[in-house]
Chains A and B, each alone.
Chain A
Amino acid sequence: MSSENWKNTVKKTATKFAAAVAITGAIGVGAAAAQETFKVGIVTFLSGGAAESFGIPAWNGGELLINLLNQGGVLPPPYDQPGFGGMMIEAIPVDESGGATKQVQEFRNLVQRENVDAVLGYVSSGDCLAIPPVADELKAFTILYDCGTPRVFEEGSYEYVFRTAAHAAMDNISLARYMESRGIEANTIAGINQDYAWGQDSWADFVASMSVLVPDAEVETALFPKIFAGQYGTEISALIRVNADVVHSSLWGGDLQAFVLQAGPRGLFERSQVALAAGDHVMPQLGNKMPDGVIIGARGMNGLAARANASPLTNLLWEAYEEEYGVFPVQAPFRMWQGILGLKVAVETAMAANGGNKPTAEELAAAMTGQEWEAPSGLIQMVLGNGHQAIQPNAIGTTKWDDATGQMTLVDIEYYSATCVNPPAGVKAIDWIHDGFPGAVCD
């Protein structure tokens, strides 16, 4: 960063802080609360392969929301009180890259040296599996805001750990429901997914869901290139050769961008219906290089699907994000927003119960258990994992380039209620799929 940029950033931050202090005073929050801060360690990928697609947009969205919350009175109720219950929010960003062992050390640093009041983070499923036991050991209130593996609360139980986003099974159940409800021909399916837990699980969930909803669908081929492979020429040949009706992919980031760039000119998108389980995050970068007619999910009612649903909260954050960063928000900032807003609700609920004091980790955990709140991505309900794991609505749409605005849009969007695409409490996602979604409530 140049010295000029640095000065501007400092000046901007100082102005925002001054405004926050002024507004806090003006609306009459108690003096003790106004002077106190709530320290949150925010852990996400600031470098490495997942930074550009998930980490940086999430951090940008988080920083933006924290600034707005600290100003107070900007967001609609119930988020209009400054900071968290009048306490200014102090974010301490930590880079998630480096693997689970490093992250456990970073987590200990945040809790024991930085004395944070809460940790909110983790995109990688590996990190999400490694952190919870340490969080419980240190009695540190922790929110997992992004990662997808269902294993965290299906195989474990934690007192101080919560996940404010639905796990990944929802993504592929929704895709299969979209195929069924839209009558998309899917007699044969093929897949290209990365060769690690995320890709393997996504494919397994999709195939299992299709076998229930579209029982005639047959798997032609399942390709699992290495993560960050970058070259997909051979895989594209194999997909075109088998000529499946539907090609499923949960590729993300640079891998997905490369796949779209290489498959487009070779006609894969014209020959097969391509369905991208989590593909919305590459749309701003690819622009019109993303073909029309691709079925896209966003791991929740996020990004363009949320914009189309237009709540005042979504519109406000969407426009602020676009103005600040010159690009529209995709799934990552939405998950960060729902995590931060969930934390705000938990802090303020706990403060209401303890007479307005800064809540302890135990009080936060009690307030968060079974909590629900409105986020830009819809109603978030902590109903799984004994009230520690969220469910949320989802949306699937189809890409269509809009020449007038020069932006990719989503059309034919189908919205799914949380209870339609998430298993009920006490049931493992894959068992729920295999059993034919018993108890699913679809609007």
Chain B
Amino acid sequence: MELLAYILVDGLIYGAWLFIVSLGLTLVFGILNILNMAHGSLYAIGAYAAASAVGAYFALGGEAFPFGSYAAMVIGAIFVALILGPLLEYGLLRHFYGRDHVILVLVTYGVFLILEDAMKLIWGVTPLFVSEPYSLLGNVEFGPLYYVTYDFLVIAVAILVGLGVWFVLNRTKRGKVVLAVIHDREMSKTMGVNVDRVFLISFTLGVFLAALGGALTAPMISVSPSIGVNVIILAFAVVIIGGLGSIEGAAIGALFVGIARAASVHLLPEAELFVIYLVMAIVLVFRPEGLFQKTQARKI
């Protein structure tokens, strides 16, 4: 029973982190129909930006109020989104809409490679550490285990962000406009919807979510080049399980992966990597579109 509780807690923590990282990917695919291979780099840049922002915060006397470092992390992610979102969407991706999926995958893969080198040019290869926010909230005792309270903050952020995006999309007028664009962008255009603006804002939001994932991760790791590579693989697994473009799917997919992985680490560590893709394979056998993707009629 105790072991089950550990598996659930560990799975929830990992799943929450995965959900934040995956949400932007599934959102961009759902709205813009782009499988964004550069998502991992945007995550890494978010981590770098947060590390720089927190470093600057403490350098400018933030020791007096260390909790302000959390705001610095979020500001770092917003900064990344406001610069890279419009730059990539307006400056590059817009010119490829309507082309084959594969073209957009190649374009975003190119962006991924460029951003990987850009990070090295800006921040170098020496890792950055900003572990202060990680230990700032202390520990939570759970049986014989200590968990860092920051891990539960990540769960709270995941819930807030997930509910927030869901609410905006499903319960607000602007969200309804976005849903209209998702369902039929030509028809939306004829009805007077500024589809270009919807795409710009949606992509920027996707970049923000990727950067936020990186920003929240930065205090737990050494921020160094290539941290985005593995993340993109995991994020793809999550959104494929949940169904490309589905927020609920990403949440359930992240939870499935998190708990399956935690169970494996505790019970059968040899299968830790295998189990993630086993979950994905099982879901795809029974639901090839993913758990929450509705089967769509193809337009002719």
What size tier do the contact residues of chain B reach?
35 or more
Find chain B residues with CB under 8 A from A228 CB: 226-227, 229-230
Contact A52 B125 (CB under 8 A): yes
What size tier do the contact residues of chain A reach?
35 or more
Contact A48 B273 (CB under 8 A): no
Contact B265 A223 (CB under 8 A): yes
Closest to B261 in A: A234
Contact A51 B225 (CB under 8 A): yes
Find chain B residues with CB under 8 A from A267 CB: 139, 146
| A283 → B minimal CB distance (Å) | 13
Closest to A55 in B: B125
Contact B13 A47 (CB under 8 A): no
Contact A265 B134 (CB under 8 A): yes
> Which residues of chain A from 260 to 275 have any CB-CB distance to chain B below 8 Å in the complex?
261-262, 264-267
Decide: A238 near B230, CB < 8 A? Known: A48-B225, A266-B148. no
> Which residues of chain B from 212 to 252 have any CB-CB distance to chain A below 8 Å in the complex?
217, 220-222, 224-227, 229-231
A257 to B131, CA, bound (A): 11
Contact A261 B220 (CB under 8 A): yes
Most interface-central of A228, A240, A265, A289 (chain B CB within 10 A): A265
A254 to B231, CA, bound (A): 14
Contact B120 A223 (CB under 8 A): no
Closest to B154 in A: A233
Find chain A residues with CB under 8 A from B262 CB: 234, 237
Find chain B residues with CB under 8 A from A254 CB: 127, 221-222, 224, 226-227
A266 to B87, CA, bound (A): 41
Find chain B residues with CB under 8 A from A261 CB: 129, 131, 134, 220-222
A390 to B10, CA, bound (A): 44
Contact A222 B148 (CB under 8 A): no
A261 to B221, CA, bound (A): 7
| A5 → B minimal CB distance (Å) | 13
Decide: A230 near B230, CB < 8 A? Known: A223-B269, A238-B266. yes
A242 to B146, CA, bound (A): 14
A266 interface neighbour in B9, B139, B273, Cβ under 8 Å: B139
Find chain A residues with CB under 8 A from B292 CB: none
Q: Does B89 contact A (CB under 8 A)?
A: no
B150-179 CB mask vs A (1 if < 8 Å, else 0) is 010000000000000000000000000000
List A residues at the B interface (Cβ < 8 Å). 47-49, 51-52, 56, 195, 221-226, 228-231, 233-235, 237-238, 240-241, 243, 253-254, 257-258, 261-262, 264-267, 285-286, 289
List B residues at the A interface (Cβ < 8 Å). 3, 6, 9-11, 13-14, 17, 120, 125-127, 129, 131, 134-135, 139, 144-148, 151, 217, 220-222, 224-227, 229-231, 261-262, 265-266, 269-270, 272-273
Question: Could you write out 18 A-B pairs with CB less than 8 Å apart?
Answer: A47-B125, A49-B225, A52-B125, A52-B126, A52-B127, A224-B269, A226-B273, A231-B17, A237-B6, A237-B147, A241-B144, A241-B145, A254-B222, A257-B221, A258-B220, A262-B134, A265-B135, A267-B139
